[in-house]
Copies of this chain bind each other. A is one copy, B any other.
Amino acid sequence: MPRVSQDQLDARRHEILAAARGCFARFGYEGATVRRLEDATGLSRGAIFHHFRDKDSLFLAVAEDDAVAMAQTVAADGLVQVMRDLLERAGSGDTAGWLGSQLEVSRRLRTDPAFAKRWAERSAAIAEATRERLARQREAGVLRDDVPLEVLTQFLELAYDGMVLHLATGRPPGELSRVLDLVEEAVRKR
């Protein structure tokens, strides 16, 4: 039997994650059965669970990858832009599964201390990206300077959490786009 290189293992792991992400996004955590994960990845459950201990580990790996990607987007475009993108995608209906996964993450944070500990690092990375971007905006003179950066960071995170909960519970977007204008205005220099 030929040896499988670490690169090949990493590539396979990456393929499984991408396919599983689509499956969780489409069907949600509970709806993404092992059978559907097999269909999505084109692999047997044996092959999938060679790379991830179980469906749960696979879900957490997807969620953690998403958090890393989000920290990168926040660093580049800011948390308000992430919210605007989310709102737009919610309008086209292709975020229902992803939003459901976010609530699943929330449930885990409450009930699974080991997960909460791992997750704390991810959410710290997002907060750090938000803080750094605000710091650059303050340097550029576009951010209000009468409120500590940490408070502005947590204000934006509060709005993000609110948007996730609003959309995840299936409520219509309503005036959220204009609400985001208010959020943005509240951190800007007058």
Residues of A near any B CB (own CB < 8 A): 100, 103, 106-107, 109-110, 116, 123, 147-148, 150-152, 154-155, 157-166, 168-171, 174-176, 178-179, 182-183, 185-186
Contact = CB atoms under 8 A, between A and B. Distances in A.
Interface centre among A157, A161, A178 (most CB of B within 10 A): A161
A106 B165 contact: yes
A147 B106 CA distance: 33
Chain A at the B interface: mostly helix, strand, loop or mixed? helix
A86 to B, nearest CB: 13
A150 B179 CA distance: 9
The 7 closest A-B pairs by CB, nearest first: A162-B162, A158-B162, A161-B162, A109-B169, A161-B165, A186-B186, A151-B178
Contacts of A155: 179, 182-183
Given A154-B175, A159-B162, 9 more contacts: A109-B169, A154-B179, A157-B162, A157-B166, A158-B159, A162-B163, A164-B165, A182-B186, A183-B186
Contacts of A163: 158, 161-162
A185 B179 CA distance: 14
